[in-house]
Amino acid sequence: MRPLPTAPLRTAVTQPFFIDLITRTDEARRGFETNPRVLQIVADGLSVERYRRLLLELYHVVWHFNPTCAAAASRLSDKHAEIRYFLYDHMMEEKGHEGWVANDLEVVGVSHSEVALYRPSNSILALNGYNYWSADRRHPCSVLGMLYALEVIASVYGGPIAAAIKESLLLEDDRGISFITSHITMDAEHMAELRLILNTIRDDESKVAITESATFNFEQFTRVLEAI
């Protein structure tokens, strides 16, 4: 008879980092998906005023996404060259996506000049500020934590949120929600690529920085949605 499983708890050492990251950030991810305001958006959608506010806030996340990745790429050592190349490719794919947000805003009545004048909330300033600081001063690999959190939010939760907004605002096709809907599929692809690159991470210092960043991004993005 096979002996009973009495081995000690499996830890990060014995499993790929992607699943370890999921486990370590499980509570923050669940905190996002079960936040009452997030649930309300999923259930009831948004008024046009709140949707405008959401997109205006998102614009600043998207606008600073590539510069944050660039800051991280420039500080990565050669031992993380593979991550640097991953970031180059990712930046190419994300280039210009702030324009998609601006186009959706135009559909719901916000002109490009109004977008340029919008001052993001303190929650967004804190989110972007943390991501720049973390890439620059904390550890450049932390940027992968930002990618992980944003791509989980887009690919896992983007669908229900987009569907609810579309219903509540009676939008046709993808008009006005093209940024969110296109990122559901796109970020599922990105998630598969991100998993592969995360599983190459071996050193604890990078793992800790990535975990911290993912946790912060989940929590701070929850604050952003709470405030709109």
Partner 1 sequence: MSATSVIPAALERPYKYLWLEWDQEFAVLTARICVKPIQCYSLAAMAELQQVFNDISANPGLVKHFVMASGAPGVFNFGGDLSLFVLLVRARDLDSLKLYARRCVDLVWWLENAAQVGVHTTALVQGDALGGGLESALLHHNVIFERNTQAGYPEVLFNLFPGMGAWHLTIRKGGFGIANDMILSGQIYTADQLQRAGLVDLVVDVGQGESALRKIVRSAHPRLRGTLTALQARRIAAPITYESLQSVVELWAVSALRLKDRDLRLMERLARAQVRKVGGAAEGAVEEIKRIELDTAWGFERTGLSEWSTLT
Residues that bind partner 1 (CB under 8 A): 1-2, 4-10, 15-16, 18-19, 22-23, 26-27, 29-30, 33-34, 36, 39, 42-44, 152, 155-156, 159-160, 163-164, 167, 188, 191-192, 194-195
Q: Cβ contacts of residue 122 below 8 Å, gap of 6+?
A: none
Q: CA-CA distance, 208 to 82, in Å (whole number)?
A: 19
Give the orientation angle of helix 17-24 with respect to helix 26-33, to 10 degrees. 50
Torsion angle in degrees (nearest 10) through CA of 72, 217, 148, 70: -20
Shortest separation between residue 146's beta carbon and partner 1, angstroms = 16
Shortest separation between residue 57's beta carbon and partner 1, angstroms = 23
- Measured from the CB atom, is 26 or 82 closer to partner 1? 26
- Measured from the CB atom, is 18 or 132 closer to partner 1? 18
CA distances in angstroms from 70 to 126, 131, 135, listed in the order given:
19, 12, 9
Shortest separation between residue 68's beta carbon and partner 1, angstroms = 22
Shortest separation between residue 66's beta carbon and partner 1, angstroms = 22
- Measured from the CB atom, is 14 or 122 closer to partner 1? 14
- Measured from the CB atom, is 12 or 70 closer to partner 1? 12
Dihedral of alpha carbons 21, 23, 28, 29, sign: positive
